[in-house]
Amino acid sequence: MMMQQSQPPTQPTVTAIISGNRKKFHTSLPDGSESVEEYDTSNGALMVRKRREKVTTASETKTWKYEVGEPEARMAILDGNSQTIMTENVNNPIFVVQDSVPSYVWRVRNIFYPQEKTYQVSCQPRDRKITIRTTNKKYFKVFNIPDMDALGLPYEEDKLSWSYSSPTLIIRYEKPPQIKRLEEEKRKEREKVPVVDQENCKTQ
């Protein structure tokens, strides 16, 4: 009798664990890639979203690509709690994508220029871009909001705000109602995923 070969999964498989104050969702996709999302258990804010491509050989390694949040190793270095040597110079400005329930959030760390008349943060609705620049021409960054681009939602200048607390520049963009509704629907779907015993789950 010929043994039937197992077929690769055609749907993503999702597992959930709770670690400390975070609820983590690990998704394995049919193409072999993976994604991890971590949410704050107290307020539901997205803390980390990272993706990793499929590993094709035993000797190959793929690093996680962070879409929201940042690697723990970098955070430890910034906090002075790690001896890890990194190629990234943490004394240079570091742009980090974050999130909150009401707003999209971005931070520029290690930016020490005085606040008064230095920082210019603007929204270009026609180009669907947000721009950060300094009048001393030491820092320049252009970025977009992928969630809003995917739905074709317009950028609005009055939804953008920013603040500075040395050495960090914080930019916020208030989420439109359509995004909030979509995120609430996704939250309800996540609640349906059973939580796995952490001892039986591979550490991410």
Q: How far apart are CA 140 and CA 1, in angstroms?
A: 66
Q: How confident is the model at residue 80 (pLDDT cuts 50, 70, 90)?
A: very low
With beta carbons less than 8 A apart as the criterion, state whether 66 and 35 touch: no
> Is residue 79 assigned to a domain?
yes
> Is residue 164 assigned to a domain?
yes
> Is residue 4 assigned to a domain?
no
> Is residue 181 assigned to a domain?
no
Q: Quote the tokens at residue 116.
A: 């008064």
SS (H, E, C) 89-137: CCCCCEEEEEECCCEEEEEEECCCCCCCCCEEEEEECCCCEEEEEECCC
Residues 73 and 121 in one domain: no
Query: Whole-model pTM?
Result: 0.79
**Span 8-63, pLDDT tens digits:** 567 889 999 999 999 999 999 998 899 999 999 999 999 999 999 887 766 666 78
Residues 63 and 114 in one domain: no
**Span 160-179, pLDDT tens digits:** 999 999 899 999 999 999 99
Residues 73 and 131 in one domain: no
> Is residue 39 assigned to a domain?
yes
Residues 26 and 86 in one domain: yes
CATH of the domain at 107: 2.60.40
> Is residue 97 assigned to a domain?
no
Residues 86 and 110 in one domain: no
**Number of domains the chain contains:** 2
> Is residue 179 assigned to a domain?
no
**Span 92-148, pLDDT tens digits:** 899 999 999 999 999 999 999 887 789 999 999 999 999 999 999 999 999 999 999
Residues 108 and 87 in one domain: no
Domain span including residue 159 = 103-174
> Is residue 3 assigned to a domain?
no
**Span 173-201, pLDDT tens digits:** 999 999 999 999 999 999 999 998 765 55
> What's the number of CA atoms in the CB half-sphere (13 Å) around residue 47?
16
* Proportion of the chain above pLDDT 70, given as a percent: 81
Residues 73 and 53 in one domain: yes
Residues 86 and 22 in one domain: yes
